[in-house]
């Protein structure tokens, strides 16, 4: 992906050595599933912060009809002790989120990880993913990401004056286009984004009329010891 290459190049140019550039914090993505009616999707991202070394786990519950977090979420847990394990942070987050997971029976409805394109993948540019909504050889759809300059929020103005937003475009098997998302402003929850990568697609409901698709976007930002990556899930119905 050209944007990712620019971003990593900027990190090195800002004084990071190759060794420290590889020490950035890229969260691991784990889907938790959908509610039976597809109206809720949940996922976890977890890892270890660069700089502090603290382990963290964030669990997000998304209203797939309105593209907002459920009330009282996300659950963000960080183990602020030396040598704390990632498993300990994840256990704390699961304890906080467990009732909501069970109430919506998310683990009974995993959906499909229809496509996955992490930053370590080197066979595509990260801008476009072609995928099938279901493993039954359903027709091929396509989703693509574009980035564009966008004013940083107040907290990030001095850190990332070259902040960027993104838009997502879906192209169905019949060739029609749907604009899935376009940033109008940068939310504070996104911290100080410099670039984005299209990281994958989750689906639920197959190719039926009520199918839910979720675009997975990696948000790239500058950390203390190298580039950082976090996840955004953008739901839509084709």
Domain carrying residue 220: 2-236
25-84 confidence digits (pLDDT tens): 899 999 999 999 999 999 999 999 887 889 999 999 999 999 999 999 999 999 887 777
173-184 confidence digits (pLDDT tens): 988 899 999 999
Nearest to 139 by CA among 67, 207, 69: 207
Average pLDDT, the chain: 87
- Domain total of the chain: 1
> Rounded to an integer, what distance in angstroms lies between the CA atom of residue 44 and that of residue 29?
6
Give the model's pLDDT for residue 170.
97
135-184 confidence digits (pLDDT tens): 888 899 999 999 999 999 888 888 888 899 999 999 999 888 999 999 99
> Rounded to an integer, what distance in angstroms lies between the CA atom of residue 138 and that of residue 132?
6
């Amino acid at each position: 992906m050209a944007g990712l290459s620019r971003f990593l190049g900027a990190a090195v140019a800002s004084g990071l050595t190759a060794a420290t550039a590889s020490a950035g914090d890229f969260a691991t993505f784990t889907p938790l599933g959908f509610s039976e009616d597809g109206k809720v999707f949940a996922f976890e991202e977890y890892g270890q912060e660069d700089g502090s070394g603290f382990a963290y786990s964030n669990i997000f519950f998304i209203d797939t009809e309105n593209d907002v977090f459920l009330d009282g979420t996300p659950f963000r847990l960080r183990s602020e002790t030396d040598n704390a394990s990632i498993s300990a942070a994840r256990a704390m987050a699961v304890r906080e989120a467990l009732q909501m997971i069970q109430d919506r029976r998310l683990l009974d409805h995993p959906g499909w990880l229809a496509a996955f394109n992490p930053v370590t993948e080197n066979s595509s540019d990260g801008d476009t993913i072609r995928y099938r909504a279901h493993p039954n050889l359903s027709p091929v759809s396509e989703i693509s990401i574009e980035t564009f300059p966008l004013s940083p929020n107040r907290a990030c103005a001095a850190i990332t004056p070259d902040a960027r937003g993104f838009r997502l475009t879906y192209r169905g098997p019949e060739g029609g286009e749907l604009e899935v998302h376009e940033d109008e402003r940068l939310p504070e929850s996104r911290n100080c984004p410099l670039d984005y990568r299209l990281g994958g697609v989750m689906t639920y409901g197959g190719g039926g009329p009520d199918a839910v698709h979720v675009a997975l976007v990696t948000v790239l930002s500058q950390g203390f010891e190298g580039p950082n990556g976090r996840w955004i899930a953008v739901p839509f119905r084709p």
